[in-house]
Amino acid sequence: MLENISIKKIILFSLTSAVLVASQSNFAHTRFKTPVIDENGSRHGSDYNAEVIGHTCKTDDGVALDLLGTVVVFPDGVDSTLTVDGVASDKKVIDFVTNWGSPVQSISNKDVFGYQDEINTPLGNTVGYWMGGGPGLQNNLAAVLPFRTSGVVIDETSCAKSVTFRTNIADICVITKASEFSTNALNIWSVAVEGSKFQIPGSKGDDSPATLKVNRTSPMPEDCGEGVDVIVTPTAAQINRDMPIIINGEQVWPLPE
């Protein structure tokens, strides 16, 4: 049972057990297997998808590290900011999407990581997941980790022709404090928002998040013209709240300051 498993076994191998090599193939960044889906208004069902990790971490000295874990967080729709056709908007997610509450569900899979759990907001909604522990991802390989999203329903009275959700993803190779984050320890594919502790400014993943775009298939009101593209971004408050890995009330990543 989880309460009887040590932190090292849960997240994540210690550095002494990680395999280090001096080269790393140039795979794609961490993204979603299907980054564009249609809204699911008629069936209200689920869309099955996957997180694709194209490569692990590589130190400044050129040493490739095995991956110990991954964390994925979607916007919760409450602590979120929106742009409409590229312009900041005071509107809320509920003005465009009728059922964005628990957008994601992790699917049980131990092909890569031995442990996993979902990330829930204080309201009980599921907005992400983490995976970690053995065997982990060998540094010369890629990984495909399945999840599913709820059938997104675009509000029939809105003018949204698409709604894109930007996520925050951390691929963890070394367990550190947040103040010690660097590309020597992890890859963070992040939104760039002021106050976020979970981004590495200037890194290849900074302001380069994985996105899930939902295209409208239902008719728009006649006065909408061609419609608008909406982009939803999590705030720093949500990111700082939901990105840490907490097991049985104990934060195991990042390490406490």
CA–CA distances in Å: residue 1 to residues 134, 161, 183: 15, 46, 33
Residue 134's pLDDT is what?
87
Residue 27's pLDDT is what?
41
Domain count, the chain: 1
The values of phi and psi at residue 9, to 5°, are: -75, -30
Are the C-beta atoms of 208 and 154 separated by less than 8 Å?
no
Residue 45's pLDDT is what?
79
Q: Is residue 118 part of a domain?
A: yes
Q: Is residue 187 part of a domain?
A: yes
Q: Is residue 253 part of a domain?
A: no
Distance CA 100, CA 151 (A): 9
Residue 64's pLDDT is what?
96
Residue 4's pLDDT is what?
39
Mean pLDDT in runs of 10 for the chain (257 residues)?
40 35 48 95 83 95 96 96 98 96 94 97 96 95 96 96 98 97 96 97 96 97 97 98 96 96
Q: Is residue 148 part of a domain?
A: yes
| Structure-token match 């809204």, residue found | 39
Residue 41's pLDDT is what?
73
Are the C-beta atoms of 212 and 232 separated by less than 8 Å?
no
Q: Is residue 257 part of a domain?
A: no
Q: Is residue 24 part of a domain?
A: yes
Alpha helices in 129-250 (DSSP H): 236-242
Residue 9's pLDDT is what?
46
The values of phi and psi at residue 122, to 5°, are: -60, -25
Q: Is residue 180 part of a domain?
A: yes
Residue 6's pLDDT is what?
45
Element (H, E) at 10: helix 7-10
CATH number at residue 150: 2.60.40.2230
Distance CA 249, CA 75 (A): 23
Are the C-beta atoms of 129 and 106 separated by less than 8 Å?
yes
Distance CA 15, CA 13 (A): 6
Write out the residue range of the structural domain in which residue 78 sits: 2-248
Closest alpha carbon to 105 in 146, 144, 69, 76? 146
Q: Is residue 78 part of a domain?
A: yes
